[in-house]
Chain A
Amino acid sequence: MAGTDNNSLDGLVGRDYAAGFVTDIEADTLPPGLDEDVVRFISARKDEPEWLTQWRLDAYHGWLEMIEPSWGQVQFPAIDYQSISYYSAPSGDQPKTLDDVDPEILATYEKLGIPLHEQAALAGVAETQQRPPVAVDAVFDSVSIGTTFKETLREAGVIFCSFTEAVHDYPDLVRKYLGSVVPRGDNFFAALNSAVFSDGSFVYVPENTRCPMELSTYFRINERNTGQFERTLIIAERGAYVSYLEGCTAPMRDENQLHAAVVELIALDDAEIKYSTVQNWYPGDEDGRGGIYNFVTKRGACRGDRSKISWTQVETGSAITWKYPSVVLRGDDSVGEFYSVALTNNHQQADTGTKMVHLGKNTRSTIISKGISAGQSSNAYRGLVRMNPGAEKARNYTQCDSLLIGEKCAAHTFPYIESRRPDGIVEHEATTSRVSDDQLFLCRQRGIDPEKAVSMIVNGFCKDVFRELPMEFAVEAGKLLEVSLEGAVG
């Protein structure tokens, strides 16, 4: 880019993080620190059965022996795990229904554009036919404050509730599947989560049932100095289908906050799970102060033959993102997909990708990753494709594209391929490109301002992934990219 116009591609200014406000409510927050008593407190607070308390304690003891992973292409000062509060919930009794929820909290979700009233959501349908209702589980700091459309879903046999409720109402299902995809000792952050997880969402779709609406969980961190450790468990029985969306935001704060979640998906014979994420945690300011550390373990198990798990993620937030939504393809003819857009701006760092582990015959996986780096950010794709000896005729296709905006950002690609099948087919394509001054000048000559031009170019770059998102989310994701890129040209 010789002769670069210094006004066009350099110089990042503040971005507009619309979800950065704080809700002023009374909260019961544990003092900072982590020991056995904290683990027992959380378990007792949730009135958990003894086996689960023990499960947590085993995870805790395992965690004490582990060290933080250091292989990621990310840098951050050591986290003091004793300075974090591991539990924070709005004061008072747990609300029984949405009508009991603190109006301040309801107003928060309204401000974020998340409909928590079924009535309102239904009215929306009457106005515009294209807006189907979405059932929402709203997680505020450490607890779920309400789940909508539970009755409608129950009629279809679908269970959608907070993790805490699931432990009480469906203990057998929880006990059977918890930790079956991501074991307690899987990695440092998964072990920490297993010890102190506070809430999250639980989904069970019975045999041959197509979940009648989109399900979604909206995570909100509000309290200062707390970590959010939630767990999501989704089980699709034979022939079941479910599409699940996840969104996240947090207030703007100068200190970093830790979010270490675990998501486990289980698909049995002929079942399909589609899991979409729009991650917009507070990314920190333009100097790299504050922001969320998003250290998340997500894994799906295609246990059944012909089952399918598809991850779609749009990652625009967080100071640091460290996550690899993966699929273990155990069932014959099972299918794993990973579609990702990860955008970093200012001083954000992302090390994200996927693992596709082929165990069954004729298993297929597709990986489409689009990384966009702007400002002084660093964006890495890290992916593993493994074909085990039993994975007869397994196939993978990986496409991994990086787009650079400006001169000070970085893009890295770390693809790992381990094939122990002579008949396995692994294809890998990768490109790195730049938003060029020529593209920008073409747009500007046609009257399009530089910010709109960059957002249009980036949206075009991400098209293959946005196509995979549910309609409403695709529009949302496009807008989010636009906001996140604000100031990338100026």
Chain B
Amino acid sequence: MNLLEISDLAVSVGNQPILRGIDLNVCAGEVHAIMGPNGSGKSTLANVIAGREDYQIDRGRIALEGQEITTLSPEERAHRGLFLAFQYPIEIPGVSNMEFLKAAVDSHARAAGDPEITAVDFMQMARSAAEQLGLNPEFLKRGVNEGFSGGEKKRNEILQMLILKPKVSILDETDSGLDIDALRIVANGISAFTNTINAVVLVTHYQRLLDHIEPDFVHVIANGSIVRSGDHSLALELEEKGYSWLEND
């Protein structure tokens, strides 16, 4: 079943076209990788899917589980199971990670009409997710991304994913800024999270994350279009040859 379906999506900022007609289908149980050179439109695609309002959608549609979400607010998309791990996670000083996560989890429960999780159950859930990512439980008491190292910020994004259990997770350059050990821990966390009813879209510049999480499909974006799709071997080919041979097509 198609979890995420993007058809002919064209997006601009000001009068500058960024995406020029993207088609993408992501089914349950799949891992997709979206690769491409800097400035190709990868991050724009990730943000537009999540509902960031700084972009103008010129045409096309985005559907989640068969329902169009193109005009929904970011929070409605989140409640329907869409998650974006940010490339540059922002700080919210004075708001503890715990408080932030609880507010997020509660909002999902309310939207689904479920009762709120108790503080004790929530603590347990948060602690076990933190442990899985090799984070000290004290980490949960600190302000959201406040004074975190680059690697901690990225792990914090994955922590939020593990807790919110989205259907479709778009991970924007989650591997950047991670050292080899942290990369392995994060990759293991993502791998353990994937199952037959959810899907993960990895947006990345490099192939190194894909050594840990083998993608079912690899798509290459250049100049706002998907110029090639294939399996993992495409990523390896890119690693060897770079992007220029595709851009010049």
Q: Lowest 3 CB-CB distances: which A-B pairs, in order?
A: A460-B94, A460-B95, A446-B104
Q: Chain A residues with Cβ under 8 A from B100's Cβ? A: 443, 446, 456
- Min CB distance A356 to B, Å, is 25
Provide the bound-state CA to CA distance between A457 and B92, in Å.
7
Asked if A436 contacts B90 (CB within 8 A), the reply is: yes
The reply to whether the CB of A459 lies closer than 8 angstroms to some CB of chain B is yes
Q: How far is the CA of A449 from the CA of B99 in the complex (A)?
A: 15
CB distance from B227 to the nearest CB of A (A): 27
Contacts A5-B53, A460-B143; A442 near B164 (Cβ below 8 A): no
What are the interface flags for B56-90 relative to A under an 8 Å C-beta threshold, 1 for contact and 0 otherwise? 00000000000000000111011100011010011
Say yes or no: A457 contacts B95, CB within 8 Å. Answer: yes
Closest B residue to A437 by CB, please name it: B54
- Tell me the minimal C-beta distance from B158 to chain A in angstroms: 13
Q: Tell me, yes or no, whether A7 is within 8 Å of chain B by CB.
A: yes
* A456 neighbours in B (Cβ, 8 Å): 92, 95, 99-100, 103
A464 to chain B, nearest CB (A): 8
Q: Decide: B83 and A459 in contact? CB cutoff 8 A.
A: no
Interface residues of B in 77-134 (CB under 8 A from A): 77-79, 83-84, 86, 89-90, 92-95, 99-100, 103-104, 107-108, 111
Chain B contacts of A462 at CB under 8 A?
Answer: 94
Number of residues from A at the complex interface, CB < 8 A:
27
Cβ-defined partner of A447 (8 Å) among B13, B86, B164: B164
CA distance A456 to B79 in the complex (A): 19
Chain A positions 259-284 with a Cβ under 8 Å from a chain B Cβ: none
Residues of A within 8 A of B13 (CB): 3
A7 in complex: contacting residue of B53, B89, B107, B143, CB < 8 Å: B53
Determine whether A438 belongs to the interface, using a CB cutoff of 8 Å to chain B.
yes
Which A residues are CB-close (under 8 A) to B94?
459-464
Interface centre among A437, A449, A461 (most CB of B within 10 A): A449
CB-contact partner of B54 in A5, A444, A445, under 8 A:
A5
B108 adjacent to A447 (CB under 8 Å)? yes
For the complex, is B52 an interface residue (Cβ under 8 Å from A)? yes
Give the complex CA separation of A452 and B144 in angstroms.
Answer: 16
**Chain A residues within 8 Å of B75, by CB:** 444-445, 447-450
- Chain B hits for A436, CB < 8 A: 90
* Residue numbers in A under 8 Å from B78 (CB-CB): 444-447
Consensus secondary structure, chain A interface = helix
Residues of A that sit less than 8 Å from B by CB: 3, 5, 7-8, 436-439, 441-450, 452, 456-457, 459-464
A-B residue pairs in contact (CB < 8 Å), sample of 13: A441-B74, A443-B100, A444-B74, A445-B86, A446-B160, A448-B75, A448-B104, A450-B75, A452-B107, A456-B95, A456-B103, A459-B95, A461-B94
User: Is the Cβ of A3 less than 8 Å from the Cβ of B93?
Assistant: no
Does B209 count as interface, using CB distance less than 8 angstroms?
A: no
Distance in angstroms between the alpha carbons of A136 and B132 in the assembled complex: 51
Q: In whole angstroms, how far apart are the Cα atoms of A444 and B107 in the complex? A: 10
Chain A's nearest CB lies how many Å from the CB of B143?
7
Nearest CB in chain B to that of A433: its residue: B93
CB contacts (< 8 Å) of B143 on chain A: these are 460
Cβ 8 A contact of B103, one of A3, A448, A450? A448
Instruction: List chain A residues, Cβ under 8 A from B73.
Output: 444
Asked if B19 is an interface residue, CB under 8 A from chain A, the answer is: no
Give the Cβ gap from B5 to chain A, nearest Cβ, in Å: 20
B4 interfacial by beta-carbon distance below 8 Å: no
- Looking at the assembled complex, report how far the CB atom of A437 sits from the nearest CB atom of chain B, in whole angstroms: 8
Given pairs A442-B90, A445-B83, A456-B92, 6 additional interface contacts (CB within 8 A):
A5-B54, A442-B86, A443-B100, A445-B78, A459-B94, A460-B94
Query: B50 in the interface, Cβ–Cβ < 8 Å?
Result: yes
For A463, list chain B residues within 8 Å (CB): 94
- Please give the distance in Å from A407's CB to the nearest CB on chain B: 15
Contacts of A5 in B (CB 8 A): 53-54
CB contacts (< 8 Å) of B104 on chain A: these are 443, 446-448
Known A-B contacts A456-B100, A459-B94; A447 and B111 likewise in contact (beta carbons under 8 Å): yes
Q: How far in angstroms is the closest Cβ of chain B from A432?
A: 13
CA distance A447 to B90 in the complex (A): 16
Q: Tell me the smallest distance from the CB of A254 to a CB of chain B, in Å.
A: 36
- Chain B residues lying within 8 Å of A3, measured Cβ to Cβ, are 13, 54
CA–CA, A437 and B108, complex, Å: 21
Closest A residue by C-beta to B99: A456
Give complex CA distance A438, B108 in Å: 20
